[in-house]
Structure 1
Amino acid sequence: MSELLNGVQLLNQDSQVVDGGEHLKGKVVGLYFSASWCPPCRAFTPKLVRFFNEIKKNHPEFEVVFVSRDREDGDLREYFLEHMGEWVAIQFGDPKIQELLAQYEVKTIPSMRIIKPNGDVVVADARTEIQEKGSDPEALWEEWLAFYE
């Protein structure tokens, strides 16, 4: 993922901009496709935050990148800063958003993919896996890593 987002400016929870390649180096990355106007997204985001927080306790190499389908910068920022975890977001209007939607064939949101540094998909439907198996975050993490290697 660090290769795929190298040079892309990502927004962090402190409203600072960081380079995607640098920030994601050595990380296991989940691309989270979501939007503030989407009720299923609003229902899933708190579950993802809880899962993320549990995994981060023992696995600081886990990172989520919010890929927003919001229609305005203010909506993206509000949803990201007020409702999401300590992860990063691709900034509003960045062409990389459309590129990722096409590359990963995202037709509906919320959607989440676990990706290798080169962009290969490890887990195509991480959202469903978190919803169904997320009550045991460590076991699900180990399952993902078995595919990651």
Structure 2
Amino acid sequence: MSELFAGVQLFNQEGETVDGAEYLKGKVVGLYFSASWCPPCRQFTPKLKRFYEEIKKKHPEFEVVFVSRDREDEDLREYFNEHMGAWAAIPFGNEKIQELLAKYEVKTIPAMRIVKPNGDVVVQDARTEIQEKGKEDPEALWEEWLAFYD
């Protein structure tokens, strides 16, 4: 992810800013495309949060980056701080958001991609996989993803 997030500042729920390339170095990254105004997003976000928290217990190398489709900074921050897991977000208005939407051909939200450090997609529809398999056995789904990762 160093190349993909070089020069991009991310923020966490404490409001701290972190260097994207450094923060994601050595991580298995899920890009989560979502917005506060989107009902299906609001349904999926708690499922992703539970999955994330379960996986992070044994696999600190898992990280999620919130790529917001919100229309205002205040909406992004409220949704992020009140509903999401302890992951990072791209600031409102950052050009990286549009770049990622185009690169990963995100037409609808919520969407989630698991990507390699170079940006190649490992899992195209991680949202569906988390919804269908992530609740019963998060560890098995994680192992399945890692089989494609290397």
Q: TM-score, normalised by structure 2?
A: 0.98
Show the counterpart of 2:63: 63
| 2:145 is the alignment partner of 1:144 | yes
| 2:8 is the alignment partner of 1:22 | no
Show the counterpart of 1:111: 111
Instruction: Find the residue that maps to 2:60 and give its secondary structure.
Output: coil
Instruction: Find the residue that maps to 2:15 and give its secondary structure.
Output: coil
Q: Percent identity?
A: 82
The 2-side partners of 1:89 and 1:69 are apart by 11
For structure 2, the 5+ residue unaligned runs are none
Instruction: Find the residue that maps to 1:54 and give its secondary structure.
Output: helix
Q: Which amino acid aligns with 1:107?
A: K
Q: Which amino acid aligns with 1:73?
A: D
Question: RMSD of the alignment, in Å?
Answer: 0.5
The 2-side partners of 1:73 and 1:9 are apart by 15
For structure 1, the 5+ residue unaligned runs are none
Q: Which amino acid aligns with 2:138?
A: P
Flag as ranges the 4+ runs of structure 1 deviating above 6 A.
none
Show the counterpart of 1:97: 97
The 1-side partners of 2:86 and 2:102 are apart by 26
The 2-side partners of 1:17 and 1:34 are apart by 20
Structure 1 position 2, deviation (Å): 2.5
Residues 62-89 of structure 1, C-alpha deviation per residue, up to 9 Å, x if partnerless? 0000000000000000000110000000
The 2-side partners of 1:29 and 1:2 are apart by 11
Aligned pairs for 1:125-140 (under 5 A) are: 125-135=125-135, 136-140=137-141
| 2:1 is the alignment partner of 1:32 | no
Residues 87-133 of structure 1, C-alpha deviation per residue, up to 9 Å, x if partnerless? 00000000000000000000000000000000000000000000000
The 1-side partners of 2:110 and 2:82 are apart by 17
Show the counterpart of 1:85: 85
